[in-house]
Amino acid sequence: MVAIAVEKAVPVTVLTGYLGAGKTTLLNRILTYEHGQKVAVIVNEFGEVGIDNQLVIDTDEEIFEMNNGCICCTVRGDLIRIISNLMKRRDRFDHLVIETTGIADPAPVIQTFFVDDEVQTQAKLDAVVTVVDAKHIWQHWEAEEAVEQIAFADVVLLNKTDLVKASELDQLEQRIRSMNAIAKIYRTQNAQIEMNTLLGVNAFDLNNALQIDPEFLNETAHEHDETVGSMALVEEKPLDGEKLNDWLGTLLQKYGPDIFRMKGILNIAGNDNRLVFQGVHMIFDGRPDRLWKPGETRKSELVFIGRNLEQMNLAAQFQACIVTDNG
């Protein structure tokens, strides 16, 4: 029964980025692009976002249809309630995009897809897309939200590249990679990008993320200068599910605010299915995925993105979850 619900779940893209990065431009591109999909959009405050008024029919209602057949909503209250109301029109759209405000920490929006059972069965987080202003981001590194938006991203658009030298872009990309080693980075002008790199990318599948740098998970940690960084743990021996659950629960209780994102594919002893694992701050969720394929190497790959990860003794604690010969 659960498998059926998940299969039919609407893919969701969370669109974030600091003030002036180009989110509205990107949102308008998504809404006007001839991708053959009907898109529903949830925006924090319609007045602030400034979606092209030629697209809008009537903004009096909280949920309204746009003149290109897309559906748009404004969050005037609770996001879970809005999603539930929107799902009553499930047959009217193929994909959901949620746009956050420029000064928002994206975590609460992402957490919505873990904490509410109804939302979990109806919607599936496809990717967090962060738009970065390549010219002005240097002025915002002190802003917590700007850093967190990058740390949470599955896809990063380095926008306004025409305003910056290539050497500066390389430097910026290196800095972003040190903060978030598994996000896909695209360089754009005016947020111009192929929609198949944004919508339906299934970025929560770690296998897709690792196409960027397959060697990344061969290291136990990624070197970085900043306090925000990535760490990967890999193990071919099966894990004890109970020990793993206890460790993660204790870990998040102690360090939850500093762990922005966790994602992984786990090889649990006695289970023929991969376990897909996702977490945001103190909330985490593991659910069975497909069967391990014949001949496929069964291994656990777990990535942490957050602040001061070196202090958390992650590698040793992870190793302690391995099933030993004597049980």
Rounded Cα–Cα distance for residues 124 and 6 (Å): 7
DSSP code of 120? Answer: H
The reported pLDDT for the residue numbered 219 is 45
Average pLDDT in the chain: 80
Is residue 3's pLDDT more than 50?
no
The reported pLDDT for the residue numbered 50 is 52
Buried b (16+ CB within 10 A) or exposed e, 40-65: bbbbbebeebebeeebeeeeeebeeb
Q: How confident is the model at residue 73 (pLDDT cuts 50, 70, 90)?
A: low
* Domain 2-204 indexed as CATH 3.90.1010.10: no
User: How many helices (H) and strands (E) in the chain?
Assistant: 11, 13
Helix H or strand E segment including 231: strand 228-235
The reported pLDDT for the residue numbered 157 is 96
CB-based contact 159:22 (threshold 8 Å): yes
Q: State the alpha helices, DSSP H only, in the chain.
A: 2-7, 23-32, 46-49, 79-87, 107-115, 117-122, 144-151, 166-179, 206-209, 241-255, 314-319
Average pLDDT of span 252-279: 90
Average pLDDT of span 254-270: 90
- 18 to 101, 140, 173, 192, 228: CA distances (angstroms): 8, 9, 16, 18, 17
Q: How confident is the model at residue 322 (pLDDT cuts 50, 70, 90)?
A: very high
The reported pLDDT for the residue numbered 281 is 86
Residue ranges of domains in the chain: 2-204, 208-319
CB-based contact 75:45 (threshold 8 Å): yes
Is residue 314's pLDDT more than 90?
yes
Q: How confident is the model at residue 86 (pLDDT cuts 50, 70, 90)?
A: confident
Q: Which residue has the higher pLDDT, 85 or 101?
A: 85
Rounded Cα–Cα distance for residues 248 and 124 (Å): 23
Token pair belonging to 317: 């604690």
Which stretch, 5-9, 194-198, 202-206, 210-214, has highest mean pLDDT?
Answer: 194-198
* Phi, psi angle pair for 272, to nearest 5°: -85, -5
- Which CATH superfamily groups domain 208-319? CobW-like, C-terminal domain (3.30.1220.10)
Nearest CA to 113 out of 204, 248, 215, 226 is that of: 204
